[in-house]
Structure 1
Amino acid sequence: MTVKNATAVRLAEILQTKRLENPIGNALLESAARGDLRMDALQRLVGTEAQAHRAELAAYGTMLARYPEHPAADLFIQLAQLVYAAQPKLRECAKALGMSDAHSSRWPAERATYSFNGTLSWLAVQGSQAACALASYTDMKVYFSGCTQFAQRVRTDGIDVPPEFLAYYDDEGSEELRQLALDVVQNGLDRGDDEADAVFCARLLEESIGEFWQSAAGTI
């Protein structure tokens, strides 16, 4: 029996093997596990998230312009919609944490805060369809799991957080959207996109997510 998206799945498995053999880590979770989580880490997480939103909306629009056909267009439209719909929830989260509109300020003002943004923006302009989609799959795979693990840690440790924070971050993401990303990877590979390049780009974006967590934790 032929497995749907067999090559795309294999590339995702290669990335999972890299993740196990050379873990990038989540500084936010690591700080919580050590019991030295900075008091402003929740605000820093929201601020870093808000800066990512700016880059994501532009990046997914660029990807859509470069790959406007099915199934790639479906993926990039849905990713943009996901970020757009998340903005009001993040504003409520920021407000509950005593912050002004995080989308209107450039904070935290540190390089690591913008590492993900820079990598995604470069990928949107330079990446093949398979590379953009595999990076998006990886983003959804590691970002949402990191968020849910941190939310669980917050609950387990009895950290007092507003409900708006958990409403935003306790989210496993959409399995359907992750599967769509693999469809788009496979479609790109079938059109001749390079496998090794797609893996490189996805791993690079995952490394930048590691810096996203460093920015949130304040461990730069």
Structure 2
Amino acid sequence: MAVDVAVLIKEAQAQLAEQAVPNRFLDRLEAGRVPRAQLRALAGELYRLVRSDRRSFALLAARFPDAPAGDLFLAMAQGEGEALRLLLDFAAELEMEEWELAAYEPKPLAQAYPAYLTQTSLYGSRSDIALALLANVEESGAHYARVADALRSGYGFDEAAVGHFRFFADTPPELLDQATATLAAGLAAGDDPVEAVRTARLVHAYENAFWGALAEDAPAH
């Protein structure tokens, strides 16, 4: 039986809404209660995450080279490369050089998300990541927008320094169209819709774990 793509996306989004949790790190950031050391930790975690995700998307493009999947995953890999460049501007505002980002010791739970993405890029279907993107894009983008706005208003960062967060706050519609087409093609080829929804849910949970790990060391008051 054919799977309705729009219905599947709504099902995934409903499951994500059920596991929504407060983002304590962003709440404290907006209140101006995240110290500079924690902002440096954010830069270090993101440096490792983005570099890993770029390789994961490149691997997916190699596994699924035909359009629309190949075009989607190549665009996502290239996007991570641009995000990495912009992250260096954020680090520079924190007086961090790239070697310091590379030397940063990551928190295990903060890196659970990229580790899971790597696992999925190796063993998952094209539909898994496509649905995860479509189901998570609104909340994930809102989180990055909150970071950018908080850094501008509460910490005095200029727009160039928050470019990394602006980049992920606004996903191009054409990329979402490619993701929808990839999901439809994958499902038509026999990808498991249940596994795709499960992947979307786990990606969401691991993204929450990323922010939660950063909040652990941020002051509560």
Which TM-score bucket, shorter chain as reference? 0.7 to 0.9
Worse-matched range after superposition: 49-58 or 160-169 = 160-169
Summarize the Cα distance change of 1:85–1:34 in structure 2 as closer, same or farther, 3 Å threshold: closer
On the 8 A contact 1:28/1:213 being kept in 2, the answer is yes
Tell me if 1:147 matches 2:141: no
Q: Give ranges in structure 2 of 5+ residues lacking alignment.
A: none
Please name the residue that 1:191 is paired with: 189
The equivalent of 2:129 in structure 1 is: 132
Q: Which of 113, 116, 121 is the equivalent residue of 2:118? A: 121
Structure 1 position 112 matched with structure 2 position 105: no
TM superposition outliers: structure 1 runs of 4+ over 6 Å: none
Matches of 2:74 and 2:62 in 1, distance apart?
A: 10
CA, structure 1 residues 215+20, in 2 after alignment: closer, same or farther (shift >3 Å)? same
- Map Cα deviations across residues 91-129 of structure 1 (whole Å, 9 max, x no partner): 122112111216851424210221111100000011111
> What is the RMSD of the two structures over their aligned residues, measured on CA atoms?
2.5
Does residue 160 of the first structure (1) align with residue 156 of the second (2)? yes
State whether structure 2 residue 178 is matched by structure 1 residue 180.
Answer: yes
Q: Is the Cα contact below 8 Å between 1:135 and 1:198 reproduced in 2?
A: yes
Task: Note closer, same or farther for the CA distance 1:6–1:102 as it changes in structure 2 (3 Å cut).
Answer: farther
- Structure-2-length-normalised TM-score: 0.85
Q: Say if 2:47 is the partner of 1:50.
A: yes
C-alpha separation in 1, matches of 2:182 and 2:52 = 21
Matches of residues 205-220 of structure 1 in structure 2 within 5 Å? 205-219=203-217
Tell me the TM-score normalised to structure 1 length. Answer: 0.86
Residues 2-54 of structure 1: per-residue CA shift (max 9 Å, x gap): xxx98222222122212322204433223235663343332222211111122
Is the CA contact (8 Å cut-off) linking 1:50 and 1:103 kept in structure 2? no
> Any conservation in 2 of the 1:129–1:188 contact (CA below 8 Å)?
yes
What residue number does 1:81 align with?
78
Inter-partner Cα distance in structure 2 for 1:198 and 1:147 = 24
Q: Who is 2:198 aligned against?
A: 200
- TM-superposed deviation, 1:206: 1.1
Counterpart of 1:95 in structure 2 is: 92
Shift of 1:161: 2.3
Change in CA separation of 1:35 and 1:106 when aligned onto 2, cut-off 3 Å: same
Q: Secondary structure at the match of 1:40?
A: helix
- One-letter amino acid matched to 2:131: L
Moved more, 56-65 or 207-216: 207-216
1:169 paired to 2:165: yes
**How far apart, CA to CA, are the structure 2 residues paired with 1:178 and 1:140?**
9
Give the deviation of 1:204 after TM superposition: 0.6
Where does structure 1 lack aligned partners over 5 or more consecutive residues? none
- Residue 214 of structure 1, CA deviation: 2.4
Tell me how far apart the structure 2 counterparts of residues 103 and 195 of structure 1 sit (CA, whole Å): 42
Q: Residues of 2 paired with 1:106 and 1:212: CA distance? A: 19
Paired residue total: 215
Q: Which amino acid aligns with 1:56?
A: D
